[in-house]
Each structure stands twice: as C-alpha cells, then as structure tokens.
Amino acid sequence: MRASFYLFLAGLALTIGLVCAAPVAAQQVSPDSMFNPANAKINSYSNPTYNFSILPPQGWILASPENKSDSALAVFTNENPASEANFAIYFSQGKPIPPSVLSVPDSQILAAAIPKLFDTSKFTVYQKNIERFSDGFVIEAVASQNQTGKNSPIIEEFSFWLDDGRQFFLVMASAQSGFYKNAADFERSAYTFYAGPPPSDVKIPPWVRNSAKWWSDGTIDDKNFLSGITYLVRQGIIVVPHTNSTAQGQEQIPPWIKTSAGWWASGQISDEDFVKGIQYLISSGIIKI
C-alpha cells in the first residue's frame, strides 16, 4: 500500500485516558508477563532504540522507508496483489498505569480505549478483547469502515499497554479477500512480540543542541521549546530515565533550566545533566507525557 494509507493508520496510536470507577473486585490478572522472553531469541527483527523485537509473518518483508509513515517504527507487507496486507508498529510514551486500574472492570477499560483507537463515527468495531498480565494489559480489536466498499481494508490491532507507561501498537490492514489468512499470519506474529526493559541510556539527537541554544539566547520562546521537547519525549526520540509526575502544571519555568540548556548547548555540561532539567519539567507538570 502507498504512503498515504500508512498516514491514515498513524492516527490510531493515541494515549487512552483511563477513568477509574468506584472500587470493585479486582479483575482477573495473569501472573505472567505479557511477553515471552524466549521469543527474543527467535525474533528476526529488532529495534534497539525502543528495545522490542518480533518475528514477522513468513514471507512478509520489511517495507522501504518511502512506503511507510514517519510515525511507524516498522512496516511489514505480504506483497500479495490479490490479498494485500500490511502491518505497522507504533510507539507512544504514556503515563504509568496506576494500581487502581486493577479494580476497573474490563468493560470500562474497553469503553475508554476503543473510541481512542478507532474513530467510532467512521469505524465499526466487530471484536474487542482485553487480557491482563502482571506487567500491563493487551487489547485486541477488529474493525472496518462504516461505508465499506470492495476496496476498503479490514483493520486488526493488538495494543500493548505496559505498567511503566510504554505503549506499543501493532496494526494490520488487510484487503477483504484473504482477510482470515492474513489475520492468522498477523496474530501468530503478534504473539512473538517482545519488549524488554526501557532503555536506560540517555539518548539525545545532536540537532537538539541547536534548539536549546536558540531557547537560551531568546531566539525561540518557552512555548516553542517546550512543545518540541514534549514531542521528542513522547515519540521516544529523546529517551530519558522514567520519572513519576504527580504535580499540577506550573506557569513559570525556573531560570536555571534555561541556563542549563545554554550550558549544555555549548558543551559545558553533560547530556545527563541536561536530562535532569527535562525530568524536572516532567515531574513538575510543565511537560506532560
């Protein structure tokens, strides 16, 4: 499928705002992790930046960069003209899942999640399931557009919601012909998906120094700098060690943050010291992830 189709899929990877109801009995939770570490040894595709791997369906190939959206970490295609199918992997960094979610009924989580994963004014969701694990939960759903024509794809998605706030979305789009065969291939592959611990190293693209320099000398304002840093953190382009945020948003950025950014841009302090400033912005609620 063409790049425009992948742009259409990119909007599916959104953060769910879970609203907890009054306390109820704890839901059924598997004592096991949602990931099987043995899969990491057999998976043929891996992404060290986000520390995940997967065994693509047999015969499916990795799409070239020009045939996928910028937000997809990887796209695989079966290259079958008679029954075309592709699946993409997306990532989003959300907030850690609070323990109170363990008492929320499955139906309530699905009710909150599905409208975020699919525009229900345009899609009909035919199947939706949730399974809970010791380290998060997995939602599986199948949907199609309301105005379905013979060329309209059917969508199947597995979304992995980790306790630490990481979210991985595996989204397949298949032609109607051959959907069941493509779905079986996709599901077998999804079950091999493995995500290890979040990267612990600080990773900052070199060009971010320019943004920090411009902010420190007043070339760009606080709003532009914060929106850029927020986007980079959410997309995992800037990887920072995890920090919990319980504070309300603040109006002012402490002057030392801007000073620190200027020192970092000129090489006077390390990446780790600069990240401490970003962590402060997150923990203070100035940057919301």
| pLDDT tens-place string over residues 219-252 | 998 888 888 888 777 777 676 665 555 445 555 7
Tell me if 261 sits within 8 A of 277, measured CB to CB. yes
pLDDT at 23: 45
Q: What is the mean pLDDT of residues 191-211?
A: 82
Percent of the residues in the chain that have a pLDDT greater than 90, as a whole number: 37
pLDDT at 105: 92
pLDDT at 22: 43
Q: The pTM is what?
A: 0.65
Banded model confidence at residue 10, pLDDT cuts 50, 70, 90: very low
* Comma-separated ranges of CATH 3.40.1000.10 domains in the chain: 3-195
Closest by Cα among 91, 135, 101, 22 to 235: 91
Banded model confidence at residue 142, pLDDT cuts 50, 70, 90: very high
Tell me if 104 sits within 8 A of 111, measured CB to CB. no
Tell me if 171 sits within 8 A of 88, measured CB to CB. yes
Closest by Cα among 225, 233, 235, 227 to 69: 235
The pLDDT of residue 262 is above 50: yes
pLDDT at 20: 40
| Class at the top of the CATH hierarchy for domain 3-195 | alpha beta
Greater model confidence, 221 or 65: 221
Q: What is the mean pLDDT of residues 271-288?
A: 79
Question: Which pairs from 279-283 meet CB under 8 Å and 24+ separation?
Answer: 279/240, 279/241, 279/243, 280/254, 281/226, 281/229, 281/253, 281/257, 282/233, 282/240, 282/243, 282/245, 283/243, 283/244, 283/245, 283/246, 283/247
The pLDDT of residue 76 is above 90: yes
Greater model confidence, 34 or 205: 34
- Alpha-carbon distance of 232 to 47, in angstroms, equals 18
pLDDT at 95: 79
CA atoms within 13 A on the CB side of 267: 1
H helices of the chain, in order, are 3-10, 39-42, 106-117, 179-190, 208-216, 222-234, 255-265, 271-283
174: which strand partners?
A: 85, 154
Banded model confidence at residue 204, pLDDT cuts 50, 70, 90: confident
- Alpha-carbon distance of 186 to 202, in angstroms, equals 33
The pLDDT of residue 149 is above 70: no
pLDDT at 85: 94
Mean pLDDT over each residue of the chain, to the nearest integer: 81
Count CB-CB contacts under 10 A for residue 143. Answer: 22
Closest by Cα among 258, 214, 198, 207 to 50: 198
Strands (E), the chain: 45-47, 52-54, 61-62, 74-77, 85-93, 123-133, 136-145, 154-162, 166-174, 194-195
pLDDT at 29: 80
Q: What is the mean pLDDT of residues 29-49?
A: 90
pLDDT at 24: 47
pLDDT at 106: 93
73: which strand partners?
A: none
